Amino acid sequence: MSVCLDIRRLSAVLPNGQRVLRSVSLAVQPGEVRALVGESGAGKTMIGKAVLGVLPKSVRIVEGEMLIEGEDLGRLDAKARRNLIGARTALIPQDPLTALNPSRRIGAQMTDRLIRILGWSGDRADKRIRQLLDEVQIRDPQRVLKSYPHELSGGMRQRVLIAAAFAAEPRLIVADEPTTALDVTVQKQILRLIAQLQRDHGTAILFVTHDLGVVAKISQKVSVLYAGKVVEEAETAQLFAAPQHPYTRALIAATPRYTDPYASLKPVDKTVLKGLTAEIEAADKAWRPGHG
């Protein structure tokens, strides 16, 4: 089986020449959850957008390859690329309220993609959506399908978007901070659902998050990002057992743990940040676009 998502030495720049992604390499195997973790500005959402082909116009990819199930996106023309991304990937967004159209009913929005992009019949799409609503434990699908987004709670809206993401059986889902806006008790339910559906459907997930707690619970592999650079990647269990990079160790120590208040919440040491800056500068100096 080919690698589900393979990103090789991906670099992107802003119009002023500043690098926002620095030779990022990462792979997601079929059916596995890879977390992309980092603080704001680390480029984790940018990578998700690059995979989905929705980078802002100002960001230009200057080197590297992205392959979805062995097909190199860079070798396809725009239409073929859109079709491939549309058929094999899906997104679970951070904020379900902005991701849903406020003036259309949930049902229409959920079947849209199946009917218009994949060319399914209305009946088939409707049946599929009901099946998925059942999988995300929505007990009254009739009411939900007829509702407008504002009539549902945050947790319900996120369930709807999870169902929609899995409906077309994508090979890869990009989940971009899907629980960040939710209360903790709802977050736990939603993470459970994502894990359950991911297992049942054998879907690979690129899970973008700032929360190492979420990383520990949901992922099998993890890439730690800083300033658009992968500073460490490991199996998740390994990362928490023996973090290698000083920044990873600092992030873990800064994350609050109510079970151990005095060993957690440690401010990140200045020498760690200085070391990171030096590392990034050295990498930029050695970097020649287009020549690896």
Chain-centre distance for alpha carbon 115: 25
Of 220, 113, 209, nearest to 167 by C-alpha is 113
Shortest Cβ 100–another protein spacing (Å):
18
Contact between 46 and another protein by CB under 8 A: the answer reads no
Q: Which is nearer to another protein, 89 or 248 (CB)?
A: 248
**Residue 174, amino acid:** V
If the CB atoms of residues 126 and 211 are measured against another protein, the closer one turns out to be 211
Q: Minimal distance in Å, beta carbon 185 to another protein?
A: 5
Q: Which is nearer to another protein, 30 or 154 (CB)?
A: 154
Q: How far is the CB of 210 from another protein (least distance, A)?
A: 7
The single residue among 202, 213, 289, 292 that binds another protein, judged by CB under 8 A, is: 213
Among 216, 244, 249, 283, binds another protein (CB under 8 A): 216
Question: 111 or 209: whose CB is closer to another protein?
Answer: 209
Q: Which is nearer to another protein, 84 or 272 (CB)?
A: 272
Binders of another protein in range 146-205 (CB under 8 A): 154, 183-188, 191-192, 195-196
- For another protein, the closer of residues 53 and 154 by Cβ is 154
Q: Footprint of another protein on residues 246-285 (CB under 8 A)? A: 250-252, 254-259, 261-262, 264-268
What are the DSSP E strand ranges found in the chain?
A: 5-13, 19-28, 33-37, 60-68, 71-72, 89-92, 172-176, 204-209, 221-226, 229-235
Report if residue 210 touches another protein, rule: CB under 8 A.
yes
Assign 8 to helix, strand or coil: strand
Minimum separation from the CB atom of position 255 to another protein (A): 5
Regarding 109 and contact with another protein (CB under 8 A), the answer is: no
Residue closer to another protein (CB basis): 37 or 67: 37
Contacts 24+ apart (CB under 8 A), 63-66: 63/9, 63/10, 63/11, 63/23, 63/289, 63/290, 63/292, 64/7, 64/8, 64/9, 64/10, 64/11, 64/23, 64/24, 65/6, 65/7, 65/8, 65/9, 65/10, 66/5, 66/6, 66/7, 66/8, 66/10
Rounded to the nearest 5°, which phi and psi values hold at 215? -55, -45
Q: How far is the CB of 135 from another protein (least distance, A)?
A: 13
Find where tokens 């229409």 sit.
108
Name the 3-class secondary structure at 292.
coil
d(CA 82, CA 92): 18
Which residues bind to another protein, rule: CB under 8 A? 39-40, 154, 183-188, 191-192, 195-196, 210-218, 236-237, 240-241, 250-252, 254-259, 261-262, 264-268
